[in-house]
Structure 1
Amino acid sequence: MRTITEGVLESSRCPECGTEIQADRRFTKWCPACDWNVDPGGPEEKKGRLETLRRRLAQRHGENLLATMSTDAADAQRARRDVSGVLAYVIALLIHALTAVLAVTGIWWVVSGWGEFRMLPGGFLLLLGWALRPRLNRLPKDEDAGVVLRRPDAPELFALIDEIAEASGTRGVDVVAVNAETNASVQAYGLRGRLLTLGLPLWESLTPEHRIALLGHELGHYSNGDTRRGLVLGTAFRSLGLWLYYLSPIPNPTPVQVVTNLVCVPPRLLVQGVLMLLDTLTLRSSQRSEYLADSAAARAGSTDAAVGLMDRLLVSDSIDITLRREVNSRRLRRSGQLRGTEGDGLWEELAAHMGSIPESEYERQRRVGALRGHSVDATHPPTHLRRRRLLDAGPVAGVVAAGEERSARVAAELAGARGTVAREVVRDGVDGV
């Protein structure tokens, strides 16, 4: 098997300050002394207006929260409700009330105007209220979720999740979905169901200690009052997104559709404004939740594991690059003929590459993150601020042990999913997340 674990060091002099540089030629050459070439790609491309606003607020709120949040464990377990949070709940309830008014008005017109013209607008309002109703998340179908595991399928994995959940002050999950995304997340479905999604490219690139920290972070969202994931606000965000979908302009319109597009402009701008307002009101709470979830990760796996997890996320681009290279190589070696074994060894190659990334690349990414105010997405505080908070709080040992035997049992339970997802990655390619 071809190896990708060994880099080649090259010595050179920094063109700016003359310091000798030892660089792995697989990664960007830069100078730790003067930061020459530390960020050759420059600032990230600008997103849309809402995304730009979110990132700017994420940077500002992240810095403010870092300065004001207590490191005391008892205080960290309380997600405070401020004026913005209360106002966000009021707006969310008004959104749901508007949908209810449409439905009730439609029913009234249909019933009171039976056999009359009022039935038509009443039926329209009733259908509109039904279409815009708040929707609970559903458990994804197997073809959309990847490989779906329930407790009888992976008892050791669920036992690990339950232990980490207990350390985080919450309960475990009901379903685990394993897929090909470079990500991990938790999601509520129905009224009380909980789904944990594990992207194998991320999971397989982590050490056992990092995996415990990852699970601690995700489960920590359930115990720290993350309002955006709650029933009221979560469904309100989904309702606004659905309204925008219905009000979006029709592409390549006919003359009649041009008029329809124009009529939809004012309500679309109104919905966008409400969405931006709700987003702004809940962003501080969301940022606080991320900080508290980081604390849950440290309690479960240790401060070192939580900080190491953040470092791995900083180099997540390397995961997609490695997988793309492996996919292309395997396809070429097999001349396009897939025989069911094309995924063999894929995760081992990925883990070997991630384990070989030099400390200098992690340090470069940390400095780039500080320069750009980099965060996982616009709802997260900048990663360098999250990292600093954990380190400033002092080392935490962690209460959940990885252990070689336990890790091996979990790996055995995931063996089938590993093979299935590896073949899917080779067959379909890598999109990245």
Structure 2
Amino acid sequence: MRTITEGVLESSQCPECGTEIQADSRFTKWCPACDWNVDPGGPEPAKGRLETLRRTLARRHGEKLLATMTSDTAEERQRADRDVSGVLAYAIALLIHGVTAVLAVAGIWCVVSGWGGFLMVPGLFLLALGWALRPRLNRLPKDEDNGVVLRRPDAPELFALIDEIAVSAGTSGVDAVAVNAETNASVQTYGLRDRLLTLGLPLWESLSPEHRIALLGHELGHYGNGDTRRGLVLATAYRSLGLWLYYLSPIPNPTAVQMITNLAYVVPRLVVQGVLMLLDTLTLRATQRSEYLADSAAAQAGSTEAAVGLMDRLLVAGSIDITLRREVNGRRMRGGGRARGAESEGLWEELAAHVDSIPEFEYERQRRVGALRGHSVDATHPPTHLRRRRLLDGTPVSGVVAADGERFARIAGELAGARGVVAREVVRDGFDGM
């Protein structure tokens, strides 16, 4: 029986130009000569006004921002991060938090001044509203939330690597690492200033040591370059606006009274959505700039070659998801739908073998798809083909952090428990993707 790491190679002629093409049965058949069938699905349409705005702004800034990033000096980039748009974004964020504070203060005043009287009713309402709309700080996830949270004593070698890469990115390390089943990696602040790095095992296990260094360099680079959206003030403002939109969302299948409530929500909802769109307008360029700078941090840590290779691996994240879902479903069927230990063994090794077997022409197809779709895939990130071009057109760097095989073997040992836990969770609960 063929495994997921094996495909059937086929030769055929392109129906458009007649060129002989090679295809792997696991992937889309396409023609490198004329781009026939290179993107059969096409980009998904934008969902809602906010996503439409983001794509419009991203297209407007795309090539222009790349040219700026190629020519700007470090001092000019730092100045750009403190431009008028950034100041206005912070002012709006503070105003958002100020609204919540006003609600709370007004509620306290009503309760105190109207103690025992009618004013206590609106006072308690305002206090409840202020509490519901308060800015939320991120929390450290718990192990029972899916995945495993590691502290420094749990994985000293991993944290030492993170610290070394953080120095190369001009920042400090993290306080915790969350290991889960997402095909992704990210950093965020929890509490007031503690840092959390999230490593999704489907992505981590499919990367080489060099790519892993570049991945950590990119994520920590967001702290080193002062990514404003990840800062406490703006991040909590975005979360507050999202919460406000949730509370103001129309009630589905409303009764007569609920229809009146929905109508009353229209204007406040449009105001909140307008503020959110304004914040996006003010910060999107800086956010995309921070992605370019994070790519530079990835190259500085691991090398230009490793950073570009990491981008290629991220292009096939969809294939990683499909493969893992197929493998998990097969193991669940063999185990009768029950999560026994044997069904999860070798899961990550099988996934890594699949990624290693992906042919170069599939990577090339994904690169061309990215160029065709541009900012329509993810408007908050520059298109991958522009990010690759910037690194490849610049002066190559060799990277300052060595990909020591013995070191990564020790890190693998530290992650062994988490790998087993996450594999068992995935087989038990199924895999939903990124």
Same fold (TM > 0.5):
yes
Q: Which residue of 2 aligns with 1:178?
A: 179
Deviations 1:58-101 (A, max 9, x none): 23323221011246773487362222111111111111111111
Q: Which residue of 2 aligns with 1:429?
A: 430
Q: How does 1:298-317 map to 2 (within 5 A)?
A: 298-317=299-318
CA contact (8 A) 1:145 1:177 kept: no
Distance 1:199 1:375, change over 3 A: farther
Q: How does 1:111-130 map to 2 (within 5 A)?
A: 111-130=112-131
What 5-or-longer segments of structure 2 have no aligned partner?
Answer: none
Mean CA deviation greater in 181-190 or 366-375:
366-375
Q: Which residue of 2 aligns with 1:80?
A: 81
Tell me, in whole angstroms, the C-alpha distance in 2 between the residues paired with 1:289 and 1:163.
Answer: 21
Q: Which residue of 1 aligns with 2:281?
A: 280
How far the C-alpha of 1:31 sits from its partner, in A, is: 1.2
SS in 1 for 2:57: helix
How far the C-alpha of 1:415 sits from its partner, in A, is: 0.5
Q: How does 1:21-32 map to 2 (within 5 A)?
A: 21-32=21-32
Mean CA deviation greater in 102-111 or 225-234:
102-111
CA contact (8 A) 1:76 1:292 kept: no
How far the C-alpha of 1:125 sits from its partner, in A, is: 1.5
Mean CA deviation greater in 116-125 or 259-268:
116-125
How far the C-alpha of 1:233 sits from its partner, in A, is: 0.9
Deviations 1:232-251 (A, max 9, x none): 11111111111111111223
Matched, 1:150 2:112: no
Tell me, in whole angstroms, the C-alpha distance in 1 between the residues paired with 2:321 and 2:124.
Answer: 50
CA contact (8 A) 1:77 1:223 kept: no
Aligned AA for 2:90? Y
What 5-or-longer segments of structure 1 have no aligned partner?
Answer: none
Tell me, in whole angstroms, the C-alpha distance in 2 between the residues paired with 1:134 and 1:327.
Answer: 38
Mean CA deviation greater in 179-188 or 84-93:
84-93
CA contact (8 A) 2:338 2:428 kept: no
CA contact (8 A) 2:137 2:236 kept: yes
Mean CA deviation greater in 67-76 or 36-45:
67-76
How far the C-alpha of 1:391 sits from its partner, in A, is: 0.8
Q: Which residue of 2 aligns with 1:222?
A: 223
Distance 1:126 1:253, change over 3 A: same
Aligned AA for 2:413? A
SS in 1 for 2:196: strand
Q: Which residue of 2 aligns with 1:271?
A: 272
- Give percent identity, aligned residues only: 83
Aligned AA for 2:285? R
Aligned AA for 1:214? L
How far the C-alpha of 1:9 sits from its partner, in A, is: 2.0
Q: How does 1:7-406 map to 2 (within 5 A)?
A: 7-70=7-70, 74-75=74-75, 78=78, 80-144=81-145, 146-374=147-375, 377-406=378-407
Tell me, in whole angstroms, the C-alpha distance in 2 between the residues paired with 1:228 and 1:384.
Answer: 23
How far the C-alpha of 1:193 sits from its partner, in A, is: 0.5
CA contact (8 A) 1:77 1:224 kept: no
Tell me, in whole angstroms, the C-alpha distance in 2 between the residues paired with 1:422 and 1:17.
Answer: 45
SS in 1 for 2:307: helix
Deviations 1:108-140 (A, max 9, x none): 222222232222212221222222122221212
Q: How does 1:408-423 map to 2 (within 5 A)?
A: 408-423=409-424
Mean CA deviation greater in 212-221 or 142-151:
142-151
Deviations 1:351-380 (A, max 9, x none): 001001111010011001100115763211
Mean CA deviation greater in 127-136 or 237-246:
127-136
CA contact (8 A) 1:314 1:365 kept: yes
Distance 1:99 1:332, change over 3 A: closer
Distance 1:9 1:287, change over 3 A: same
How far the C-alpha of 1:302 sits from its partner, in A, is: 0.6
SS in 2 for 1:11: strand
Distance 1:337 1:287, change over 3 A: closer
Q: Which residue of 1 aligns with 2:5?
A: 5
Mean CA deviation greater in 66-75 or 379-388:
66-75
SS in 2 for 1:30: coil
Q: Normalising by structure 1, what TM-score?
A: 0.96
Tell me, in whole angstroms, the C-alpha distance in 2 between the residues paired with 1:173 and 1:77.
Answer: 25
CA contact (8 A) 2:141 2:149 kept: no
Tell me, in whole angstroms, the C-alpha distance in 2 between the residues paired with 1:281 and 1:43.
Answer: 26
CA contact (8 A) 1:10 1:22 kept: yes
Aligned AA for 1:230? G
Tell me, in whole angstroms, the C-alpha distance in 2 between the residues paired with 1:286 and 1:338.
Answer: 41
CA contact (8 A) 2:304 2:391 kept: yes
